[in-house]
Structure 1
Amino acid sequence: MSLGEGLRLATGTFTRSPSGQVTITPVTARWALFLAPLAVVPLALQVVLVGLTVEVGVPPLVAAAAALGVLAYGTRAMHLDGLADTVDGLGAGWTRERSLQVMRSGDVGPMGVAALVLVLLAQAAAMATLLSHGWFGALTIGAAVIASRAAAAVVCATGHPASEGSRLGAAFVGSVPPATASLLALTVTAVLLLSVCPVVLAHRDAPDVWAVARLVAAAAAAAPMGLWAAIVLRAKAARAFGGVSGDVIGAAVELALTVVLVTLTLGW
């Protein structure tokens, strides 16, 4: 029962898909964070389908922009909103109270706008690079979307407090044991490695050992690099805000996705 409620909570929290009423308990919160990558699989498949339009002549950059539009719509742009609010809060400086006030104001300041532009630009450029390789790249982008959602569990690991006044933070932060977060990191790494298997198999008849090794290394490193970036963000949030809030969770997902996509491009 907790697993099913956890999946419904993950679906309702990380996508715009309706999931019904769920009572949030520490157990359902833990399952929701663990199952977040699974909950976004339907959304990731939509991104792959959009990416596949490059096979019928759509320019990779156009397809990448459309894929980002699908992601924003499918998540109600809440991760992007969290990114903007978090960066504005981190840039407010002065005192913790001032940072929290800026974060909760609802307005997007110049630092938040700059963060959104730069992150979306990096994501679009990386996706376009991957999509220049056709359906191989589209499949890998879908895997990257799935892998990035593991960042939520990482920043909500046990031993880290929730930010004062954050309802989402109070519900989720501290609910995931470090061992569970590590298992999830290994799982999404395996997903990324599986996503590049078609490319590896394509080199079977005319093997290019260096190209294959570079591709596999990038796929293996992408998730750890993205999750490490989320951990760094969590540390900064702890200093600035006193803990992790819902905005920080969303920002961690966007940051992880960016780092994962950029890392993957290094292997192509």
Structure 2
Amino acid sequence: MPRTSPADGIRFAFGTLTALPVRVTRWDREAARGGMQCAPLAGLVVGLCAAGAGGVLTALGAGPLLAATATAAAPAALTRGLHLDGLADTADGLGSAKPAEDALRIMKQSDIGPFGVITLLFVLLAQVAVLFQLYERSWTEGAVGAVVSATAARLALTLAARAGVPPARPEGLGAAVAGVVPRGRALLVTALVVCGAAAAGAPLGASGVVRAAAAVVLALGAAEVLLRHCVRRFGGVTGDVFGGLAETAATAALVVLALG
């Protein structure tokens, strides 16, 4: 098999983590490794699109609430709701309090249970509330929030795919990407994203730099807590868990940006 190129990894990231028309040409461990390392790049593009949606509405005279709603809706549209669905399924699995095998079976069902509905409701409310607060300050703050939160969300996936994190099932997206990213490479990508977030916050002054960098770090902390709990409960990660991690990190990043 030919050596994996950077383009293979980028195609894997965009083809699996977004609904953009990108064709995945390779579906193997090497391509998955490159793809999960490029996950924050996919997040950056999603965040820029979300910021653009809010910016267009703001330019047309819409208020901060409508701009916030559009900004929160854009990532869902650009992923066909994949991460939100994963969040809901993970909440149902965890909330069931059943053994791992039964919880995983619940997560595979097509319907959404009460835990999933409640979790989706409050997560989306939190995202819109924070984005409204940021847009009320300025479009720039709302745009920074959209970009930083979306990038942090996909960075959480890079870390969740690090070596040593097992899959909960032998098949599915979780099994395809679990443990593919070397720990050193995951830390390098994390450092680059934190620096990039700090740069994104620069237009907001010194406090913006600190808040943007802190938002990424604390978002990863929140995602790591969920990751460890899921590994204990389910025996590893699944595609649904990855979706739950992304939405958890995105929401945590936004909350941090709203403070101060």
TM over 0.5: yes
Is the partner of 1:157 in helix, strand or coil? coil
Q: Considering only aligned residues, what root-mean-square deviation do their CA atoms show, in Å?
A: 1.5
Deviation at 1:55, TM superposition (A): 4.5
Question: Residue in 2 aligned with 1:180?
Answer: 185
Q: Provide the rounded CA distance (Å) in 2 between the counterparts of 1:167 and 1:50.
A: 32
> Would the aligned equivalents of 1:54 and 1:134 in 2 still touch at CA under 8 Å?
no
Partner residue, 1:207 = none
Query: For 1:39 and 1:111, how far apart are their aligned partners in 2?
Result: 29
Residue-pair matches, total: 255
* Structure 1 equivalent of residue 226 of structure 2: 233
TM-score (norm 2): 0.93
Could you list the runs of 5+ residues in structure 2 that have no partner in the other structure?
none
Could you state the TM-score of these two structures normalised by the residue count of structure 1? 0.90
Residue 114 of structure 1: aligned partner: 118
**Mean Cα deviation higher: 10-19 or 53-62:** 53-62
Q: Counterpart of 1:143?
A: 148
SS at match of 1:65: helix
Bigger Cα displacement from structure 2, 139-148 vs 252-261: 139-148
Distance 1:133 1:194 in 2: 19
Residue 84 of structure 1: aligned partner: 88
Q: Deviations over 1:178-207 (max 9, x none)?
A: 21111122122122211121121xxxxxxx
Tell me the percent identity.
Answer: 38
- In structure 2, what residue type is equivalent to 1:108? I
| Distance in 2 separating the partners of 1:225 and 1:195 | 17
Q: How does 1:41-120 map to 2 (within 5 A)?
A: 41-52=44-55, 53-120=57-124
Structure 1, unpaired ranges of 5+: 201-211
1:260 partnered with 2:253: yes
8 Å contact 1:169–1:245 — kept in the other structure? yes
- Greater CA drift, 38-47 or 147-156: 38-47
Q: Is the 8 A contact 2:43 2:153 kept in 1?
A: no
Secondary structure at 1:243's aligned position in 2?
Answer: coil
Aligned counterpart, 1:203 = none
Question: How far apart, CA to CA, are the structure 2 residues paired with 1:217 and 1:69?
Answer: 27
What is the aligned counterpart of 1:22 among 14, 25, 29?
Answer: 25
Q: Is the 8 A contact 2:199 2:209 kept in 1?
A: no
Deviation, structure 1 residue 91: 0.9
Q: Paired residue for 2:133, among 102, 111, 129?
A: 129
After superposition, where does 1:184-263 map in structure 2 within 5 Å?
184-200=189-205, 212-213=206-207, 215-263=208-256
What amino acid is aligned across from residue 191 of structure 1 in structure 2?
A: G
The amino acid that maps onto 1:217 is V
Aligned counterparts of 1:191 and 1:130: Cα–Cα separation in 2? 20
